[in-house]
Amino acid sequence: MKVANNMSSKFLDCLDKETNHDICEQQFELTEGEEKFFIDKGLTIPKRCKPCRQRKKQQAQERADRNDE
């Protein structure tokens, strides 16, 4: 994971590999506050940009909805 520091923010490369079987090449910003939130909650630091995370959540919800039918 490439990380570039910019004072109190980090810019990370999105590691999503499911977008049409291509790697999402978008960089996303992770602020110091966001990083602290994830660490304080015991969560892993995101590896996907926000659009890829939202798409992944939507796909998971759609699968769950189909299983409930």
Lowest-pLDDT choice from 11-20, 35-44, 52-61: 11-20
**What gap in Å lies between CA 8 and CA 31, rounded to an integer?**
6
Q: Is the pLDDT of residue 3 over 60?
A: no
Tally of structural domains, the chain: 1
Q: Is the separation of the CB atoms in 11 and 1 below 8 Å? A: no
Domain range for 17: 3-68
Which residues are within 8 A (CB) of 23 and not within 5 positions of it... i.e. 6 or more apart? 14, 15, 16, 17
For residue range 34-54, list pLDDT tens digits in order: 999 999 999 999 988 989 889
pLDDT at 7: 53
